[in-house]
Structure 1
């Protein structure tokens, strides 16, 4: 997307500002999006590249984490719903598997990432022209919330609503549901529908 020469320059800048401190390079790309932000020329021409790099980093981290289980114990939820303690449910939060990341971007980077993947897969496609270039129809300035989650080694990458993203972050912070906004609570059915959670636990500050 940015060309070989530009990438090499960014890599050199990253090495300059973040010299390798150990032999293991698996985590060396963690701050690459910060390095991109330090390049005024690239940042001005491609302001969305910072978030695109962050998305790729989240996918890379998730791919190297242990396999995540997504089997939710429905009986625990049913017990809470049938409890005589009407406030019990609100004192709990849904546990999000560790290999889950939410990226809030002012740019449509999730759709851009998907277009790039499609282009890489379609190796037999002719060189895009003004008439068949899928990138030409992309509104890059459309804000987007992206979910990145490992599912049995498959890295699920999907645009979601900002409210669902806020609920996921709320649960990742282990905050009780009684502290969530009405907009976030309206997204609760999607946690189970999309198999985004694997437990429900009582919050320490519930």
Structure 2
């Protein structure tokens, strides 16, 4: 009997098209080994294609079911599952789509896929129960305000794109209006709400820059020293539950 690892490797290769590696491992049955292998192969490809469809519904809506099925099959064969769980499968699908000659006229498609992948990753984040500590902020002496470091909620993921992916996503899945300027960039915070729903929060560039600076742990004085206009976006980030705590640098 062949060692288990060799059997597993041979059968895995057979699922990806290498008949010679797998046919000798299939026991005789009422069906020929070739037919049985094709059943396994079809189920393997179909199962992972369904995983991709559940992760990228807006992409599928934009390109149509037939195109998506063909693209998914190609991706599965080129980038097969490499672990026992499918939870993290499909991360590179956007880049793979963007590299296809048939998507050259859809330059935003790969970005839309990247947005949907990030949206799903945000859904896996643990909820952050913290709320903005108004009373603690009031207790900070004004002479120490420049030492404030504002903390970003742990249940958000930032996302930026040179294309209006949020408008495209809403158009594809939620009956939103047609995206106008396809060269319009967007800056988003994907925020997990208490009901486990992920809300894409649209931000302007200054608010995005402020949020990113806070994520990097920069003191407020440093951020406002770079651009004082950022100060007027602080209430927005607090109201949206994107900033949820504070600490004093050099405390």
Query: TM class by shorter-chain length?
Result: 0.7 to 0.9
In structure 2, the residue matched to 1:104 is 160
Higher RCO structure, 1 or 2 (CA under 8 Å, sep 6+): 1
Contact kept? 2:122, 2:156, Cα under 8 Å: yes
Query: Equivalent of 1:7, from 64, 68, 72?
Result: 68
Aligned residue pairs total 186
Q: TM-score, normalised by structure 1?
A: 0.79
How far residue 203 of structure 1 moved from its aligned partner, in angstroms, is 4.7
The reply to whether residue 141 of structure 1 matches residue 183 of structure 2 is yes
Identify unmatched segments of 5+ residues in structure 1.
Answer: 121-133
How far, CA to CA, are the matches of 1:161 and 1:175 in structure 2? Answer: 20
Runs of 4+ with deviation above 4 angstroms: none
Kept in 2, the 8 Å contact 1:17–1:35? The answer is: no
Gaps of 5+ in 2: 1-61
Preserved CA contact (<8 Å) 1:102 1:146: yes
Aligned to 1:193: 239
- Output the CA distance in 2 between the equivalents of 1:31 and 1:98: 24
In 2, distance between residues paired with 1:173 and 1:12? 39
Task: Determine which of 214, 237, 240 is the counterpart of 1:171.
Answer: 214
8 Å contact from structure 2 (residues 127, 154) kept in 1: no
Question: Shift of the alpha carbon at 1:79?
Answer: 1.8
Alignment of 1:30-109 (within 5 A): 30-42=91-103, 44-80=104-140, 83=141, 86=143, 88-109=144-165
Kindly state the Cα deviation for residue 70 of structure 1 after the two structures are TM-superposed.
4.3
Matches of 2:249 and 2:100 in 1, distance apart?
42
Cα deviation, 1:12-65, whole Å, max 9, x if unaligned, reads 3433443322111111122222222322331x2211112211211121111122
Q: 1:14 to 1:150 in 2, by over 3 A?
A: same
Change (3 A) 1:199 1:118: same
CA distance in 1, matches of 2:249, 2:65: 48
SS at match of 2:75: helix
Structural RMSD (CA): 2.3
TM-score (norm 2): 0.66
Q: C-alpha separation between the residues in 1 aligned to 2:130 and 2:91? A: 26
Question: Where does residue 83 of structure 2 map in the other structure?
Answer: 22
Q: How much does 1:92 deviate?
A: 2.7
| Structure 2 counterpart SS, 1:95 | strand
Check 1:166–1:16 CA distance in 2 against 1; reply closer, same or farther (3 A cut). farther
| Higher helix proportion | 2
In 2, Cα distance between the equivalents of 1:106 and 1:149?
A: 20
**Contact between 1:13 and 1:35, CA under 8 Å: does it hold in 2?**
no
Q: Is the 8 A contact 1:174 1:203 kept in 2?
A: no
